[in-house]
Amino acid sequence: MADFNSEFWHWYIAILTVLSILACVWLIRWMTAGFVKKDETETTGHVWDSDLTELNNPLPRWWLGLFYITLAFGGFYLLLFPGLGSFSGFLNWTSTDQYEKEVAAIEAEVGPLFAKYQQTAIIDLIKDGEALKVGERLYLNYCATCHGSDARGARGYPNLRDGNWLWGGDPENIKTSIMMGRQAAMPAWEAPLGGERGVDEVTQYLLSLSGRATIEELAANGKTKYDTFCVACHGPEGKGNIAMGAPNLTDDSWLYGGSINRISESIAKGRNGQMPAHGEFLGEAKVHLLAAYVYGLSQEN
């Protein structure tokens, strides 16, 4: 509420809020004024079924009092907490402060647990059942949205169980991927390859790298184009480059789909993938344990 770009909005909200409360007080008093005395009877003039008459009686005092108590509470609340424009309230409460206090309280409680596991090498943590249970909870909270609850991924999101790693599958590379995030880019090659025909030729050659049936004439022409445009990233044998995140094209594992149409689409239009960094958010101790859990998944096969 303190980020207004004009003082006008502060006063607009504050005055409108106060007037709204005062208007509610006036409305209640106006609606309850003019009632007859308790020992008198007055009707509203509405009669149903010949003798069912609506009387003009006031609300019970306790009920009416609840309205006033609610309005008084609202006014008292606005003095203590933010709500009147940029006025922060006498308690100076902010959602950021509350969040930081809650995080600090949790860290004080569970921080020593994660710190203990951080002293153990990832390769050893995968043998610790209790550590893996904690790692699994971290995974389900922070990773399952993209990679799935079973860690088998989806189109555009890597399978973490198959042992195929774009940026390397050893413990430290996995930890770095989680800590720092990854940014991968496959440029669009349709124009440099000479259009749809060139894309088809390279597609056929890529199929041959993983032992799939191909149209030999197209694959032969595709190899020439591959050696010109693709070899720098994927290598002369198509085994990829973990330093660049360039995938291995010989294992028949395709992040965006391995059908002919999907492979052609990747070549023609390019791909852009991003793994967000979790280090600042989770801290190194949690990332260390999470990396151990993820590394353990690929060791199960």
Is 118 part of any domain? yes
- In this structure, the answer to whether residues 216 and 108 fall within a common structural domain is no
Q: CA-CA distance, 212 to 238, in Å (whole number)?
A: 14
CA distances from 143 to 60, 128, 139, 263 (A): 56, 21, 5, 26
Beta bridge mates, 154:
157
Mean pLDDT of the chain: 90
- In this structure, the answer to whether residues 290 and 267 fall within a common structural domain is no
- In this structure, the answer to whether residues 206 and 245 fall within a common structural domain is yes
Is 238 part of any domain? yes
Is 86 part of any domain? no
- In this structure, the answer to whether residues 195 and 250 fall within a common structural domain is yes
Q: Are 208 and 240 in contact (CB under 8 A)?
A: no
- In this structure, the answer to whether residues 270 and 260 fall within a common structural domain is yes
Q: CA-CA distance, 226 to 195, in Å (whole number)?
A: 14
- Tell me, what's the pLDDT at 35? 56
- In this structure, the answer to whether residues 108 and 257 fall within a common structural domain is no
Tokens of 291: 């990396």
- In this structure, the answer to whether residues 189 and 270 fall within a common structural domain is yes
Question: Is 31 a residue whose pLDDT tops 90?
Answer: no
- Tell me, what's the pLDDT at 71? 95
The residue from 80, 95, 124 where one domain ends is 80
Number of domains in the chain: 3
Q: Are 247 and 255 in contact (CB under 8 A)?
A: yes
Helix (H) or strand (E) holding 293: helix 284-298
Q: Where is pLDDT greater, at 107 or 264?
A: 264
- Tell me, what's the pLDDT at 281? 87
At 129, the pLDDT band (50, 70, 90 cuts) reads very high
For the segment 214-222, the average pLDDT, to the nearest whole number, is 94
Q: CA-CA distance, 281 to 179, in Å (whole number)?
A: 9
Q: What is the pLDDT of residues 62-118, one digit of tens each?
A: 988 999 999 999 999 999 999 888 888 999 999 999 998 998 888 888 888 888 899
CA distances from 94 to 17, 51, 154, 277 (A): 19, 59, 39, 27
SS3 of the chain: helix, strand, coil, percent, to 5: 55, 10, 35
- In this structure, the answer to whether residues 12 and 75 fall within a common structural domain is yes
- Tell me, what's the pLDDT at 1? 47
Tokens of 289: 């344990």
- In this structure, the answer to whether residues 176 and 114 fall within a common structural domain is yes
Is 89 part of any domain? no
Is 27 part of any domain? yes
For the segment 276-287, the average pLDDT, to the nearest whole number, is 93
Nearest to 151 by CA among 298, 252, 301: 298
CA distances from 2 to 5, 44, 82, 168 (A): 9, 50, 9, 46
Is 157 part of any domain? yes
Is 94 part of any domain? no
- In this structure, the answer to whether residues 150 and 287 fall within a common structural domain is yes
- Tell me, what's the pLDDT at 3? 64
Question: Is 15 a residue whose pLDDT tops 70?
Answer: yes
Task: Give the CATH number for residue 139.
Answer: 1.10.760.10
Instruction: Give me the domain span that covers residue 112.
Output: 103-181+276-298
Q: CA-CA distance, 132 to 295, in Å (whole number)?
A: 10
At 4, the pLDDT band (50, 70, 90 cuts) reads low
Q: What's CA 216's distance to the chain center, in Å?
A: 45
- In this structure, the answer to whether residues 257 and 281 fall within a common structural domain is no
Q: What is the pLDDT of residues 139-172, one digit of tens each?
A: 999 999 999 999 999 999 999 998 899 999 999 9
Is 98 part of any domain? no
Q: What is the pLDDT of residues 166-186, one digit of tens each?
A: 999 999 999 999 999 999 999
Tokens of 154: 């989806």
Tokens of 276: 């967000």
Report field, pTM of the whole predicted structure over 0.75: no
- In this structure, the answer to whether residues 152 and 290 fall within a common structural domain is yes
Helix (H) or strand (E) holding 182: strand 182-186
CB-neighbour burial class of residue 236 (10 A; exposed 0-12, middle 13-18, buried 19+): exposed
Tokens of 290: 């999470």
CA distances from 31 to 46, 57, 61 (A): 18, 11, 14
Q: What's CA 85's distance to the chain center, in Å?
A: 30
Question: Is 299 a residue whose pLDDT tops 90?
Answer: no
